[in-house]
Structures are given as C-alpha cells and as structure tokens.
Amino acid sequence: MKEFRMLEINQCELKTLIESALRDVLLEMLPQNIASQNEADELLSQKQACLMLKVSPVTLWTWRKEKKVSYKKIGRKVFYSKRDLLKLNN
C-alpha cells in the first residue's frame, strides 16, 4: 500500500508546480517536429522571457505587436523562442 503525505505549500509554489506540469503536458501534445525543434530551441514563458531580457511584460507585449519578437501560442499561453530572444538581445 502506498503512503500518502500531506504537504503544506504556498500559492506561489503551487502555481510553479501546476505551470511545470502543464508545460510538460502541452509539450507532449505538440506535433513531433515542433517538439524535436524545442529540444534545440527552448520555449520560454512570458515571465521567463521578461527575466532573460530584463524588460517588463508591457515592453515584451509591445515588441510582439510590433513584430520585433516572434512567439507561439499554445491554447491561451504565449511562448517565446529562446533562440530568437538571444538574437534580439545581441
């Protein structure tokens, strides 16, 4: 019989766990050619992209609308190619 333990986690930790699980599920759902491309070209969430570029979410959104930054939409979530962001940063 398996043993179950009750864990106390805060809202931020729960959000991180859920985002990680969803990211894994969404990547499994992607067509094989996109998934294999992701191994070489990681997709970043908006928060990760903002941290990497050291810009606000509003700036990133503006760049997206001005087509300075390419992105992929999976469901309602927007992801950015790490490779493209590195090119933009140079």
What DSSP letter does each residue of 65-86 carry, written as one string? HTTSS--EEETTEEEEEHHHHH
pTM: 0.54
Of all helices (H) and strands (E), which one includes residue 43? strand 43-44
CA dist 32 → 36, 37, 82 (Å): 6, 9, 19
Of all helices (H) and strands (E), which one includes residue 29? helix 11-29
Q: What is the pLDDT along the chain (90 residues), one digit of tens a residue?
A: 678 777 788 888 888 888 988 888 877 776 655 545 554 478 899 999 999 999 999 999 999 999 999 899 888 889 998 888 888 877
- The CA distance from 3 to 22, in Å, is 25
